[in-house]
Structure 1
Amino acid sequence: MHNLVDVGPLQFVHILDMSTNITRLEVGPKKVVLQYNEKLSVGPLNLIIVPPGKYCCIKNPVKNYEVGKQCELKHGDVDVRFNQEPFPLYPGEILEDAERYGIDQFGYSNAIKKLPVVKANQAVRLCSRVDGMVDGVARKAGDLWQLEGPLTYNHYQTDAEITGVVDAQVIGINQAIRMRAKQDLTTKSGVKKSAGEEWLEKKVGSYLPGVYEEVVDLVPAYTLKPEEGLHIKATHNCVDALKKKRSAGEMWLVTGEQINSYIPEIGEEVMKAVQKTVLRKGQFCVVSNPVDRDGVCQLGKEKLWKGVVSFFLHPGETIKHGIQEQFILGPDQSIVLRANCEFTDKSAGEKPKERKCGDRWMIRGPRCYIPPIELDVVEQGDGQLVRKAIPLGENEGIYVRNLQSGEVKAIMGPQSYLLTEHEQLWQKELPEVVEKILQNGGGIGEGDIRKLAYFESSIDSEFSGNEPRNKTRVIRYRCPHNTAVQVYKYQEKVGRVVFGPDMAILGPHEDFNVLSLSAGKPKKENALQTICLMLGPDYITDIIEVETSDHARLRIRLAFNNFFEFEQGNEVEEKLIFSVPDFIGFACRQVGSRIRGAVSRVKFDEFHRHSMKLLQVAVFGTDDKGQMKSKLKFEANKLVITNIDIQSVEPVDQTMKDSLLKSVQMAIEIATSSVERTAGHEAARKEQEAKGHLERQRLVNQKEAEKARSILYELRAQTSAVESTGQAKAEAQAQAEKLLIEGQSSIDEATLKQEAENIIHSTDLEIQTMLREAELSYQQQQDTLELDTKKRMAEIEVEKFASMVDSIGIETITKIAIAGPASKVNLLKSLGIKSTLITDGNSPINLFQTSEGLVAGNTGKGKK
């Protein structure tokens, strides 16, 4: 029947009375019959079961429920129910978060919730929803508080809302957490904090922040070793971790000697980590802007630290020029000092001396020196601070300039020169062309110029190396043999001449006189630049063009010897040899003009027949007697020319040159053919003579060969006879010797067999004898050993028995011997047997046996 509702165990239904519009609750197990005016409103549904550790919320709970009356509901209110007996929902009540009724009758899974479990080092944070008493405390709506675990929040109520679960912050060793107050509060340690104020929590362990505390960051500590430190700056007024008040902007140093680990407080900022500066023995440094004992930075001042020492740089301090080594000066070393201000110099080993600003002085070795802060060490030209004595060998020198007077001088060796405090090395610059000339030994030009060979021996490694020339060294040049070099001193406008082989040394205000000479064939001006003047004897070659009176143009290659003829030591004549800068071009032009003038007056045939004489007369001229002179001397530069030689003459015109070449070729051909024919006739004659000698020799050789052949045949016949006779005789002798050897071998074999058998029998006999003797000897030794062993064992037994008797004693042995019989006698006595019955035996044992027999006999009699 559809009007019958079956309500099972742990189920309930809501039935609506449509006439009164009142809903009643029916809880099973039962069967409910619906009246005509009733209908099933809800159900059947399961009773709500809240397991342990869970809860549910009922909206609009019933205040007073009476059957048949309208339910009074608390609309808008929520009732929290924990573990209890299964209960139904009254009409109008709603299970919070449950699914809609009628869709799933078991839709309580979302409504039954777990109670919040707060672990250790956790807290559940709550917020009050209304004003009133919450958890026994008067609270206002919006108030926050938290409950720390471990706990289960089983007093859940509608007036408080869980906003979340807070985990504790773990503070390790050398760590802290930075906290910020959200509003005015009092920390767990009892310190009041204003809203927005920050502080550090350093206690090792777990820290559970309060509801109005915010964790900003985890701050690790700076671990400081003894050689480490920190530069700290205060961002505002505060008290540092060492409990010292600091003003905003103040900077200070914290070292590992003060504290092992440092956690900056709120208001402190770590600028950087610094290492301890360690100065070893012999080291020093200058600290700028040092900090005094009160921690005040003395801007602009300096402080000198000398090793052995270690220190930390305070904020604002810097090391000027880094850590430096003390100056260790040898006997040939020094340093130049310059005072920065007026002070009293108390250098070690010297009397105190007043120094003024700008004073320069020198300290020489051997000694160790650390300069005070009132002075500077003057750098040398090469960037070095220590001056060393410059060793100078023979013909070596340096250019030195005096800073006070400006004078420059050359210091020459052999010596070791140490610059004074007012001296410095001076660099002498040379023109680029002079540098190249010195690099090539004295001259530069094209590679095919013959005179460049003069300078190969004068190439100096100082100029020819890959490294640049040391400009402070005195410039030297080895003048080649039979040459002259002019050195010009431009301050005094005078020059001097150095003759080779010698060393030309330039003073600080001297330069070489560079000569631009003509070279090549034909001569080309400025082809050779040199500082050497070749004095000769030498030769000059040139090619000149001439034209005869019949207009035959010729090219003449000639060479002439030259030398300078002057009085060495006469300054006037020495200067004259350099008066003509291009003496080669000058001589070639003079000689060429004379030759061209002389050739232009003669015809080609005459020149061809008398060219040598014509040129010599043209160049050297004749004397008053018409004799040709032997030399030509130029008074302008004392150059003398001798011995002109014509190397070749060839026409300039190609047609004339071809005609002369053809005539020369025809003459050569005629001469060649004459020589060839003469040689042919001579060869034919010699050939016939050789053939005659060859035929005669062939006939002689045939005669000698026939004689030798006849002798050969005779020898062959003799050899054949000897060979046949010797063969038969040799076979007979071999057969006889064979039989003799076989018989002798049989005899020897029988003899050897007999000897071998004798040896075998004798050997067997000896072996048997030796075996019997060995066995006999072995048996004797065995018997002897066995006898000795038994004898020794007997002695040992005797000694053992004697030792046992001695150790036990006679009395003890006696007592042991009579102990058994005595005990038996006592036994018989205890049985009531008289002692007379015992005394008849020979021994206690016999007596005992007798007594036993007696006892047995008496017992038998009694039975009978």
Structure 2
Amino acid sequence: MNTPGTRKQHHNMSAPMILFQDTYCHVLNNETGEIELIEGPKRFILPATKTLIGDKRAKLVVKEGQYVEVLNPYNPETKQCVMGQIEIRRGPLILSLYPFERCEGLVKDAVLLGKNQYLFVKATEGDDAGVLHRVKGPALHFPNPNEEIVGTFDAINIGENEAVYIQNTDTSELKLVKGPTSYMLEVNEKEYNKELSAEECSAIDASSATSSRAYSINIQKNEIVAITDYRSNKEKYILGPVCHILEPHEGVRVVKISGGIPKVENAISIAKVNLGPDFMIDSFEVRTKDNAVLNMVISYKWKFLILNDDELYKVFHGDFIGYSCQSMRSRIREQASTHDFESFHTSSSTILRSALFKDYEFTNKNNNSKQVHYGRFFSEFNFLVFSLDVKQVKPVDSELALLLDESIKSSMKIMCKKLNDSAEFAAEKERIENETEVAKLRKSLIEIEIGNYKKEVIEKARIEGSRLLEEATAEASASGHQKRNKLKLELENMKNVIDMLQGPDGDVYIEYAKVKNLGRNVQSATFVPSDVKTLIIPPTTSQLSADLY
């Protein structure tokens, strides 16, 4: 903490004083009484009228994003320090304190707020003292001397199909903020922890631990949930598939139904009612006309018939399982009392279906169409049991049960023997049919092989005939070509003779032909043109020989 000193130091006027860049000092003017701030870098000589107060001081470095609180800040207009006040000085700066200024604490970092962060500050002075303000990120917050930081908070991240309950602290009004979002509370808001009863939490498979996170109900297809509005005291019905988030003033209607085998009342608490088709199993005793007590296990298939939206309330009217099972149980006992043991045990399913089920005709008010459904209808809930299956009919009397077991075993043996004989007969019949089929296939195979052989012979003959025909055709073609060439040559010779006869040598050739036709002893001939007057014929070789001898 830097304070102006009271010790005065006198310096010789001839001795210079040096202040570096990161130092400063306070000097008292002895004549006026003012204290001056001298900052380096500087070199000066202290005159006789001024006195150095204290030692040289190091300047305070405040970086970017930092601040320092200065008590008794100096006012440059009045040139005086405002005593008792605090001033926030932000970086970046190099701070030299005036006389009477003090640093309250060390250099501090400003509050850095991220994108999903915020803080509350409370005014400590002025007309709005005690009033809260919210500062949202991203931001770099420097505190005000007249403010107090209450706290820094992270935004509430709310995912898809999620929500948070928020309460207004001024009006106590509740609201639901749905995701996906990052929600920042207002200064007059807080998270509200909604509580459901343990029964409601169990019915919707939710945790019973209190939390500001909203209750969400995943309603599957063919499911329905009754939502109660506590403010208006009304109900609305939500059909799946949908994810419904409870409003702050909403709850769920819980229905208690019978469960177990045999059925026990109020065994199950549910909020999501399956509209079906579904099944239920009941077990009870009946007495036949001949006083045989039987234990029956029966499975029912059921569904709700929701033909009009204004009848949805009937689904939550009460214990539809217990009521329907009790009603069916009573009617089945009535039917059992009118039949003897053997007939009822043998044909119980057929007897009960024909006696309890019938056709019901319904009209849809929305489109005025008509529908017919077969079964047992309970109009109190719009509940239809449309199938009945007897799983077990067992005598309660052990001796009767033993006799029945023996009878069943005997019947089973007879049935098994009959089934075995039938199986053997069917196997033998199948074997004979297979052998017959194999013989037919063999015959077909032989016929196919014969046909293939015939085709092969015919194909060979066809190929051979084609070959011979091609050879004959080729030979005839060659012979015809030879004859055509010979004829062409003869025609060429005749054409040459004709051309010669028509020319100047034609007469000579005719004479030659005549001489050649006179006899075979003519060895040579000489042709004399008609216009020659004198002709000297040279002697032949034979004549010359005769003259020599």
TM range (shorter): 0.5 to 0.7
Secondary structure of the equivalent of 1:484?
A: strand
Task: For residue 491 of structure 1, give the secondary structure of its aligned residue in structure 2.
Answer: coil
AA aligned opposite 2:337: S
Look up the match of 1:579. 317
SS at match of 1:474: coil
C-alpha distance in structure 2 between counterparts of 1:419 and 1:678, whole Å: 82
Structure 2 vs 1, CA of residues 279 and 595 (structure 1 numbering), >3 Å: closer, same or farther?
A: farther
Give the letter aligned to residue 557 of structure 1. V
Local SS of the residue matching 1:528:
strand
> What is the CA–CA distance in structure 2 between the aligned matches of 1:358 and 1:541, rounded to whole Å?
67
Question: Which residue pairs with 2:375 in the alignment?
Answer: 631
Q: Quick check: 1:282 aligned with 2:65? A: yes
Q: Which amino acid aligns with 1:574?
A: L
CA deviation after TM superposition for structure 1 residue 415, in Å: 5.3
2:40 corresponding residue in structure 1: none
The aligned residue for residue 503 of structure 1 is 243
Mapped contact 2:73–2:86 kept (Cα < 8 A): no
Deviation, 1:410, is: 1.0
Match of 2:537 in 1: none
3-state secondary structure, aligned to 2:212? coil
* Residues in 2 aligned to 1:332 and 1:658: alpha-carbon distance in whole angstroms: 77
Deviates more, 1:538-547 or 1:421-430: 421-430
Alpha-carbon distance between aligned partners in 1 of 2:343 and 2:414, rounded to the nearest angstrom: 26
State how far apart, in whole Å, the 2-side matches of 1:614 and 1:681 are.
Answer: 35
Cα distance change, pair 652–428 in 1 and its aligned pair in 2 (3 A): same
Q: TM-score, normalised by structure 1?
A: 0.35
**Structure-1 separation of matches of 2:163 and 2:232:** 22
Matching residue of 1:644: 388
Inter-CA distance 610–285: structure 2 relative to 1 (3 Å threshold): farther
Q: Offset of 1:325 from its aligned partner?
A: 4.3
> 2:186 — aligned with what?
420
Do residues 359 (structure 1) and 131 (structure 2) align?
Answer: yes
- 1:494 aligns with 234
The amino acid that maps onto 1:663 is: S
The aligned counterpart of 1:375 is: 147
Between the aligned partners of 1:488 and 1:660, the Cα distance in structure 2 is: 55
Q: Please state whether the residue corresponding to 2:298 is helix, strand or coil.
A: strand
Which letter does structure 1 place at the counterpart of 2:148? Answer: D
Q: Following TM superposition, by how much is the alpha carbon of 1:617 offset from its aligned partner in structure 2, in angstroms?
A: 4.2
The one-letter code matched in structure 1 to 2:122 is R
TM-score, reference length from structure 2: 0.53
From 332, 348, 357, give the equivalent of 1:611.
Answer: 348
| CA displacement, residues 792-814 of structure 1 (integer Å, 9 cap, x when unaligned) | xxxxxxxxxxxxxxxxxxxxxxx
Contact kept? 2:287, 2:294, Cα under 8 Å: yes
Q: Larger relative CO (CA 8 A, sep 6+): 1 or 2?
A: 2
Residue aligned with 1:597, SS = helix
Structure 2 Cα separation of the partners of residues 291 and 281 of structure 1: 23
Aligned to 1:593: 330
Paired residues, number: 349
Alignment correspondent of 1:339: 123
Partner AA of 2:119 in structure 1 = I
1:513 maps onto 2:253 in alignment: yes
Describe the superposition over 1:155-197 as per-residue Cα deviations: whole angstroms up to 9, x where unpaired.
xxxxxxxxxxxxxxxxxxxxxxxxxxxxxxxxxxxxxxxxxxx
CA distance in 2, matches of 1:334, 1:681: 89
> Equivalent residue of 1:574, what SS?
helix
Question: Aligned residue for 2:112?
Answer: 328
Opposite residue 653 of structure 1, the aligned amino acid is: D
Q: Which residue of 1 aligns with 2:49?
A: none
Shift of 1:406: 1.0
Asked if residue 666 in structure 1 is aligned to residue 433 in structure 2, the reply is: no
Aligned-partner SS, 2:256: strand
CA distance in 2: counterparts of 1:541 and 1:278, whole angstroms = 84
- For the residue of structure 2 that corresponds to 1:630, the secondary structure is strand
Q: Residue type matched to 2:232 in 1?
A: E
Q: Once the 2 structures are TM-superposed, how far is the Cα of residue 521 of structure 1 from its aligned partner?
A: 2.1
* Conserved 8 A contact 2:359-2:375: no
C-alpha separation between the residues in 1 aligned to 2:141 and 2:275? 58
Helix, strand or coil for the counterpart of 2:403?
helix
Q: Which residue identity does 2:250 align to in structure 1?
A: E
Q: Are the aligned partners of 1:485 and 1:504 in contact in 2 as well (CA < 8 Å)? A: no
Distance 1:303 1:387 in 2: 29
Structure 1 position 488, deviation (Å):
1.2
Please give the secondary structure, in 1, of the residue aligned with 2:401: helix
What residue is the counterpart of 2:442 in the other structure?
none
Aligned to 2:220: 480
1:543 aligns with 2:283: yes
- Partners in 2 of 1:428 and 1:422 — Cα distance? 18
Q: Is the 8 A contact 1:360 1:421 kept in 2?
A: yes
1:620–1:629: 8 Å Cα contact kept in structure 2?
no
Cα drift, residue 611 of structure 1: 1.8
Rg larger in structure: 1
CA–CA separation in structure 2 for the residues paired with 1:525 and 1:279: 77
| Kept after mapping to 1: 8 A contact 2:203/2:254 | no
Contact 1:567 1:574 in 2 (8 A): no
Partners in 1 of 2:243 and 2:380 — Cα distance?
27
Give the % identical residues. Answer: 28
User: Which of 551, 556, 565 in structure 1 is aligned with 2:296?
Assistant: 556
Counterpart position of 1:657: 401
What's the secondary structure of 1:473's corresponding residue?
coil
Q: Give the superposition deviation at 1:475.
A: 2.3
Q: Deviations over 1:617-665 (max 9, x none)?
A: 4433699xxxx99322222211111122222211122221111111222
1:397 is matched with: 163
Alignment of 1:31-50 (within 5 A): none
- Aligned partner letter, 1:521: I
Structure 1 distance, partners of 2:425, 2:356, is 51
Would you say the 8 A contact 1:284–1:324 is kept in 2?
Answer: yes
Alignment partner of 1:356: what SS? coil
**Distance in 2 between residues matched to 1:472 and 1:428, nearest whole Å:** 6
For structure 2, the residue ranges without an aligned partner over 5 or more in a row are: 1-53, 75-83, 97-101, 361-371, 428-549
Q: Which amino acid aligns with 1:565?
A: L
Alpha carbons 2:203, 2:272 under 8 Å: kept = no
Q: Give per-residue Cα distances to partners, 1:680-732, cap 9 Å, x unaligned.
A: 9999xxxxxxxxxxxxxxxxxxxxxxxxxxxxxxxxxxxxxxxxxxxxxxxxx
CA gap 1:633/1:504 in 2 versus in 1, 3 angstroms: same
1:585 CA displacement: 1.8
Distance 1:280 1:475, change over 3 A: farther
Alpha-carbon distance in structure 2 between the residues aligned to 1:606 and 1:682: 33
Secondary structure class of the residue paired with 2:411: helix
Q: Describe how 1:103-502 pairs up with structure 2 within 5 A.
A: 281-283=64-66, 325-330=109-114, 333-340=117-124, 342-343=125-126, 355-379=127-151, 385-388=152-155, 390=156, 392=158, 395-413=161-179, 417-439=183-205, 471-502=211-242
